[in-house]
Amino acid sequence: MSISREGEGPGAATEFERWLRDTFAAEGAFTALVILVEIGETHVSLLASTYLNIIGDDIDWTQVVTLFAGSGLKWDGAAFFPMLDADGPLENEEARMRLRAVEARVRDNRLVLNEGEFFDAWGRRLKIEEIILS
């Protein structure tokens, strides 16, 4: 597991906030499929998933953390998979269907988390790295 520490410090935008701003500027409104995970020394466990329709770039990482606190789960990482259809954000049924497909892929191979935008509990980028246990 690697963590990027770029942009830390008082008043600095988190890497999540920069990603959200850049993605919204490039794509407009979109749906983010989200998977929350617990990260151990040698494992990553799926905890919960949801989807969010992003209709602006004014949400900050603190608001996201507060939203996820409502799950009652202690999570260590959140992977966001941005999705669009021809008109912008996905319809609810399509979002649920795509979320289940992404969940299945992640259950089969945790490296799929790297295909999304993966952040730790402080809004810093994460990357899953393969390890070999002997």
SS3 43: coil
Domain count, the chain: 1
Is residue 33 in some structural domain?
A: yes
Is residue 69 in some structural domain?
A: yes
Give the mean pLDDT of the chain.
Answer: 91
Quick one: which of 133, 61, 51, 44 has its CA closest to 84? 51
Is residue 25 in some structural domain?
A: yes
- Distance separating alpha carbons of residues 98 and 80, to the nearest angstrom: 13
- For residues 37 and 45, the answer to whether their CB atoms sit within 8 Å is yes
Q: Average of pLDDT values for 93-113?
A: 97
Range of the domain at 32: 2-127
- Asked whether the whole model's pTM tops 0.85, one would answer yes
Predicted local confidence at residue 34, as pLDDT:
98
* Extended strands (E) in the chain: 2-3, 30-39, 44-54, 77-83, 117-120, 126-127
Predicted local confidence at residue 5, as pLDDT:
43
